[in-house]
Structure 1
Amino acid sequence: MHYSVKAVLSVVAFASLLPLTACGGGGDGGTAPQSNSGGTATPPAVVAPTSVTPVTSVPAPTYATPALSSAFSALNSVRGKMGVGLLRQDTILDTAADNHITYAKANNITMHTETQALTGFTGATPYDQVVAAGGSKAQWIGQVMGHAGFTDGAECVGNFLGSVYHLQAVTSNQETIGVAFRDSYCVINFGITTGANGSGYGLPQWGGQQMATNAVAYYPVDNATVVGSFNPASESPNPAPDVAMAGTPIMFRMSAPQGSDVVTVSSFTLVGPSGAAVPARVLVPIAAKSGSMTGAVADANLYAGVVFLLPTQPLVAGLHTVTFSGARNGVAVSRSWSFTAI
């Protein structure tokens, strides 16, 4: 069953938070390092990493209930298959997420932000909520949230995966995760610390776990079995207000940590069990519109390295084959894979 989720994940815009570039001065461009008066060469400055490669193992989580551990395991299972890196549990993010459920339930609200005058307030934004719970200020914090008839955390994660903006958010470059699930509320916090180059509410596309520039990730993954329908109105913002019921959103993504990085689309198609093409629209970031296929729809809510194929009708049951052709920064890339809709 596919439940409705009303949620928005904050995303840091490149325009407002471009990474700073250090400028070395005073060098002559060719001489060796000079010794100090004691005859010992001056050691080079330690440079903090700007990102890490996607990790393939993390410590086992310490969640007390299967409902919580199932969310952690379900999301990491998909992230591992995609190659975007596993997430490690951060118990402070867990606490902040649970505190936010207390606030949301007390005020009958499904929003990421909090109002100080209301019961259960801990912080105005998810970042403030994490800091109030004892978290480091030197990180970025993002959040997804749902309020529906979920039976466990895995079902909540499955709902996020079967969407557009939440799918791109939960499979991005974050490193840490905090989960809370109770009273039909599901809140998941994410953190980025490596190469953060700032801090606050939202997930920047620099830092964190970065795939190689020639690596690709997509969802549904190879040979996955997924629900074949998606209600665009169940997601906020709505990715297709003119479509009453769509098919499974299909995402293709590549690393895009620099403001100039862009993934464009030449062709993005889906063929159903009968061998016929499935009616669909292609969603691309604004910067990718001019370099992409005719008919591609520019979407301001997409990350620079993410594009979507959104079927404009529910998928029939059976095997579906996706074919993508495009480019990252002008370098051609193509993939074909299959999944089963139910």
Structure 2
Amino acid sequence: MTPSTGPAEPGPAQPPAVSPEQSAREQALVDEVVASFAGAESPRLRQLMQALTRHLHAFVREARLTEEEWSAAVEFLTAAGHITDDKRQEFILLSDVLGLSMQTIAVNNEAVGDATEATVFGPFFVEGAPRIEQGGDLAFGAKGQPCWVEGRVSDTSGRPIAGARIDVWEADADGCYDVQYGDDRTAARGQLFTDEDGGYRFWAVTPTPYPIPHDGPVGRMLQAVGRSPMRAAHLHFMVAAEGHRTLVTHIFVAGDEYLTHDSVFGVKESLVRDFAVQPPGTPTPDGRELGDTEWARTRFDVVLATVPASPH
């Protein structure tokens, strides 16, 4: 007999049995609501509304949702709307912590050869980040350990992609993005282009974990279910090149305690990288003098999927 290792994990809850008459009554309502969208001029809109209706009603029927629970859900969504403004989108945050954002990304970024995996965009991208040259420093004074990042951008056949645009952004050592400070600073973000060999290199700061905004309804929900609001340490990339699928992704820090429970489910094993810490005095790749400061280095080679040729 195999010794017990503790209580078994509970399986999916089974919906309470209902009578055939009750089940038929509930299904009749589903059918009626689904049919109400049949006249939509847009076939896609019709498909979306009918699928949404079927799945929402299936949730209510499976969970046997009470009227009090339905009311609490409405209050939750109302609170999410009230806290949302031009700087904070609580509904995107809700989508993130439910894994819906990552599922949408998975659906829209099908695996192509060894193309680099995509992950969540996040709310802190800013158009028009400062242009830096190869080997430049995009930290712009952000607090954190200096970090040398280098790599190569290629297609799925291994051919280098020259002139690919790379946008990079990250939080500082305090876990804040520049736009969260409420002043006009621009820090820990920049844009550069690959060289003739598809190579790129720049200085940034070593990523550190930080919490998503958790002072609103989404944060209260996470607390109620015993989940952490912490995001694994990461560095954002957006890589674009003509004729290729634009890639939005991160790289994550190997050994980070939050890799296995990132609050928005953004971690992919293929995106975890070693950030090797270099002792003070270690020569830097570009001869930069850092004195008695530790620094780190990492490599991230990017593979872009080709956009299929139009049949027309």
The TM tier, using the shorter chain, reads under 0.3
With normalisation by structure 2, the TM-score equals 0.25
Whose radius of gyration is greater, 1 or 2? 2
After TM superposition, the score normalised by the length of structure 1 is 0.23
